[in-house]
A and B are shown apart, each in its own frame.
Chain A
Amino acid sequence: MSAETSTPSDAVELTSTSAGTYSPDNPAPVIEPPRARTSRSPKKVSRTNFEMWAWLFMRLSGIVLVVLVLGHLIIQLVLDGGVSKIGFAFVAGRWASPFWQLWDLGMLWLAMLHGANGLRTVINDYAERDTTRFWLKTLLYTATVFTVFLGTLVIFTFDPNIQ
């Protein structure tokens, strides 16, 4: 993101708004930035290292994901005739080996936790009201737990002979 985000175009209003109903005795409301830091801002210094671990996890999982995700994409989409080969038999063949089961399990967990933590930062950035923040995070965590649980279940209970 660059600092150069706005340059006035011709659409910009160039003259002062003619004096309206505001006067020294009746000033317009001061525009407060959202939740400004003041000496009264809660000083609940978090004693935990949670944010540090989250930060480290993003870097470490990112490195592992480069291998897992790129490998996954190449195997699925490029090698051996590309997407046309993917079918029930192809998946059953790969999950017969514990190696690919572990690969997919690792990718599932890392990508989900990495993505969820990334969205958590995005929510922290953009949700202004505490209730919005709470509900967005509840939704995020529910969806994450559900997806990770369902994916793990499928990887371990997959039945190649299902009718």
Chain B
Amino acid sequence: MSTATVDNPHSAALDTAESTASHLITITLRVRRFNPEVAAEASWVDYELQMDPKERVLDALHKVKWELDGTLTFRRSCAHGICGSDAMRINGRNRLACKTLLKDINPEKPITVEPIKGLAVLKDLVVDMEPFFQAYRDVMPFLITKGNAPTRERLQSAEDRERFDDTTKCILCAACTSSCPVFWNDGQYFGPAAIVNAHRFIFDSRDEGGEQRLEILNDREGVWRCRTTFNCTDACPRGIEVTKAIQEVKRALITRRI
């Protein structure tokens, strides 16, 4: 980044933005709302807001909740893309509301916000994550070893750590699993997120439960249901190569069984 020169400290645009409120634009936030205590059907509700295009969809949702309608319900915690609470379908794509800038998703048109698909909606943007976490628990996402625990750290070479680096980044937001058409169908498929988290341990040189996890993912509802649609890779807000991780688990199964 270069520092501004003394002669020209500000661009003309920045000047106007600072001296007036003209940097605010009018956006329409179109939210899919559902309250089982009021109506059996979900419906779209439009909110007109004055927002800075550099703000995020989460800020727009906050503005609605804090200033217009306190009943709007959604999950968020960290607001910085770390906790994985606020995955939602924004303009038809799964994203984190806290990582999506308004200027990046064409604020001239109404911005649609829906709950992620394939999980039961409890209220507004809040879905029942239990089936998602059940699949996560089913792949045993914890270190499994035999024998006595060492008295010091379990050492690992940099290359061994690199092997599964990509899949350590998962924040369990469910953007991938809820973008997968196979998961939408009947919700029995383990889903990309569970496979990503199994991958994280299967390819960890310190772990000894890989064979058990592979056995679980060799199931009828396991990796073989994946149709290589790449929706998961497109959806992941952490940039994890989800489809590649699934293929690596498939390959490990094939090479170990044949």
Chain A residues in the interface with B (C-beta under 8 A): 1-8, 12-17, 19-20, 22-24, 27-39, 41, 43, 45-46, 49, 51-52, 54-56, 121, 124-126, 128
Contact = CB atoms under 8 A, between A and B. Distances in A.
Interface stretch (B4-12, B30-38, B155-163): B30-38
23 contacts: A1-B231, A3-B179, A3-B235, A4-B91, A14-B46, A17-B39, A17-B43, A20-B39, A22-B36, A28-B38, A33-B119, A33-B187, A34-B186, A35-B186, A35-B188, A36-B131, A38-B131, A46-B219, A46-B220, A52-B224, A52-B253, A55-B224, A126-B185
Nearest to B189: A37
Interface residues of B, number: 53
Nearest to B235: A3
A63 to B, nearest CB: 16
Given A12-B44, A34-B185, 13 more contacts: A1-B229, A3-B235, A16-B33, A16-B38, A27-B37, A28-B38, A33-B118, A35-B188, A37-B134, A45-B219, A51-B220, A51-B222, A125-B186
B92 to A, nearest CB: 4
Contacts of B120: 30-33, 36
B93 interface: yes
Contacts of A51: 218-220, 222, 224-225
Nearest to A50: B220
B257 interface: yes
B104 interface: no
B38 A22 contact: yes
Given A35-B186, A35-B187, A125-B186, A5 B92 contact: yes
Interface in B11-70: 30, 33, 36-41, 43-46
A28 B40 contact: yes
A34 B33 CA distance: 21
What does DSSP make chain A's interface, helix, strand, loop or mixed? Answer: loop
B44 A125 contact: no
Contacts of B257: 49, 52
Q: Chain B interface mostly helix, strand, loop or mixed?
A: mixed
B48 to A, nearest CB: 12
Nearest to A48: B218
Contacts of A36: 119-120, 128, 130-131, 187
Nearest to B46: A14
B121 interface: yes
Interface string B201-241: 00000000000000110111010110001010011000000
Interface string B128-141: 10110011011000
Contacts of A34: 185-187
Given A6-B92, A45-B216, A49-B218, A37 B188 contact: yes
A14 B45 contact: yes
A39 B250 contact: no
Contacts of A49: 218, 257
Given A3-B231, A33-B118, A37-B135, A125 B250 contact: no
A4 B93 contact: yes
Contacts of B219: 45-46, 51
